[in-house]
Amino acid sequence: MSEKQVKRDLEELNLGIDTKQLVAEYYKKKKKEMLILFLAGIFLFFLLFITRQKELNLEEGNKILRNQGAVGKKEVSLMVRREGKEWENLQLPVEGKEYTKEELEKQCKEIIGVLPQYILGKNQDLDHIVSDLAFVQEIQGYPFYLTWESTDKNLISNTGIIQQKVRKETSLVELRVKIKYKEWEREHSFFVVLEKTKVPGYMISLLEHIEEKESSTRTEDILYLPDNFQGENLEWKYQGRNQGYLVLFLLFPALFLIWHQKDRELNKQAEERRQQLARQYPAFVSRLALYMGTGISARESIIRIQKEYSQGRKGEKDYLQDELTYLVTQMKNGLSEQKAYEMLGSRCGISSYKKLSALLVQQIYKGNYKLLEQLKKEIDDANEEQYRKIKKRGEEMGTKLLFPMMLLLGIVMALIMIPAFTSFQF
């Protein structure tokens, strides 16, 4: 919004206050709010940046804390950078610290013919295994207890976890399941194929090196990642993005939008003022014509109307009463009627008030001759204009209600038609 429009809106909403002062204070307040918002955004950026950066960095640069207790194995998303090279992604399975484990609850049973579909997890079939298997111990509806065993625990554990996330070649693994019910026991074998993983050679070697180290230090609380591998220095951090940059990216567009939103809110307030003045115009002109019809001058009539408005005010904002109070105060302070009436029409910014001010100025020089007749015509025109506006608002509301009405009609038709169709017998 232009500064000229802002100046006009402020002038309309603040009677009797120097316009330059109003504009200066308005922009001073806006700049202060923008500065506070900017500083808050910068603070939030640094807070998120530092917090997230701390989360992404490993303990002492190369330490990973193992899961404790029954939490077990975890998958760590890492980024590694060789000396003079770019950062590369690395998925690392880290076993939890080993403890003696016991099975905690019974499991349901399963029929051999349908068992494969329960253990697939996210895999397509048993011949294309790329992610962890779901070794169920119990199936609802059957009294069997299932226990699993992998013949190659370096590839798949007894719990279905794939140990080598990165594999150089396709591997065949036999899985054995014991199906028990009291003294009854049966064993069945499944063969699954672990697919080859496509990963750059250096990363395969690095991951194998770390997995070997991880396997030999499982009784320790901390896994130390290598600082150097194959003669190259390495840096480590967790995968993820620092959200602080997002705040910084959105900060300036937000400041721009809020800056202009303040102007729009001011303009909306000024527009509400003009609409209220327009709604009050017919009643005001009618009352003015009533007083002047008894022989009272325009000046005295306006003073009496202003007193009536002041006495009947209930606390809500009344812009017409404020305008009349300001008008009466100006005339009592020595401003001529002509100038006061002209300024009233200019301040209101509405054609009807400008026309009324012109009629009032005219009667100063020509007297009340034909003024009452003109006021009555003005009342008729104002009422007609008010009727047109109300009719237009009604049409707009009807248009807005059209979609909800159609939606309700569709729901009613569905409530009628669906039971009718379902009652047919084919």
| Residue 36: inside a domain | yes
Q: Is residue 20 part of a domain?
A: yes
Is pLDDT above 60 for 97? no
pLDDT band of residue 104 (cuts 50, 70, 90) is very low
What three-state secondary structure class fits 160? coil
The answer to whether residues 303 and 343 belong to one domain is yes
Residue 416 maps to a domain: no
Distance from C-alpha of 210 to C-alpha of 217, rounded to nearest angstrom: 11
Mean pLDDT of 2-26: 75
pLDDT (0 to 100) of residue 106: 46
Torsion of CA 385, 386, 392, 393, to 10 degrees: 160
30: confidence class by pLDDT, cuts 50, 70, 90: confident
Which token pair is 238? Answer: 């967790």
pLDDT at 296 over 80: yes
Cross-sheet strand order for the sheet of 184-194? 145-150, 171-181, 184-194
On whether both 163 and 276 belong to a single domain, the answer is no
CA distances from 36 to 31, 32, 255 (A): 9, 6, 10
Counting beta carbons within 10 angstroms of the beta carbon of residue 336, is it exposed (0 to 12), middle (13 to 18) or buried (19 or more)? exposed
Over residues 283-293, the mean pLDDT reads 85
Q: Are 221 and 344 found together in one domain?
A: no
Domain-located, residue 91: yes
The winner for highest mean pLDDT among 148-162, 303-317, 373-387, 406-420 is 148-162
Bigger pLDDT: 52 or 30? Answer: 30
CA distance linking residue 236 with residue 192, whole number of Å? 35
381 and 325 within one domain: yes
Assign 229 a pLDDT band (cuts: 50, 70, 90).
confident
Helices first, then strands: H and E counts in the chain: 10, 9
Does residue 414 sit within a domain? Answer: no
Query: Domain total for the chain?
Result: 3
For 298-348, what is each residue's pLDDT tens digit?
A: 888 888 888 888 887 666 788 888 888 888 888 888 888 888 888 888 888
**349: closest CA among 265, 298, 278?**
278
Concatenate the DSSP letters of all residues of 257-308 into one string: HHHHHHHHHHHHHHHHHHHHHHHHHHHHHHHHHHHHHTT--HHHHHHHHHHH
- 226/183 same-domain check: no
Question: Which value, to the nearest 10 degrees, does the dihedral of the CA atoms of residues 378, 384, 387, 392 take?
Answer: -110
In a domain? residue 385? yes
* Whole-structure pTM value: 0.45
Note whether 76 and 159 are same-domain residues.
no
Residues 89 and 215 in one domain: yes
92-106, 124-138, 313-327, 388-402, range with the lowest pLDDT? 92-106
Q: Which residue has the tokens 């049966």?
A: 186
State mean pLDDT over 158-169: 76
Long-range contacts of the stretch 35-42 (C-beta < 8 A, 24+): 37/254, 37/255, 37/258, 38/251, 38/255, 41/247, 41/248, 41/251, 41/254, 41/255, 42/248, 42/251
Task: Say yes or no: 43 and 84 in one domain.
Answer: yes
In a domain, 307, yes or no: yes
Identify the pLDDT of residue 310.
81
Domain of 182 in residue numbering reads as: 103-195
Residues 57 and 20 in one domain: yes
Phi, psi of 2 (to 5 degrees): -75, 155
Task: Verify that 330 and 345 share a domain, yes or no.
Answer: yes
Residue written as token pair 């959105």: 250
Q: Is the dihedral of CA 286, 287, 289, 293 positive or negative?
A: positive
The whole-chain average pLDDT of the chain stands at 78
89 and 217 in a common domain: yes
With tokens 């009627």, the residue in question is 337
- Whether residue 206 contacts residue 213, with contact meaning beta carbons closer than 8 Å, is answered with no
CATH number for the domain harbouring residue 119: 2.60.40
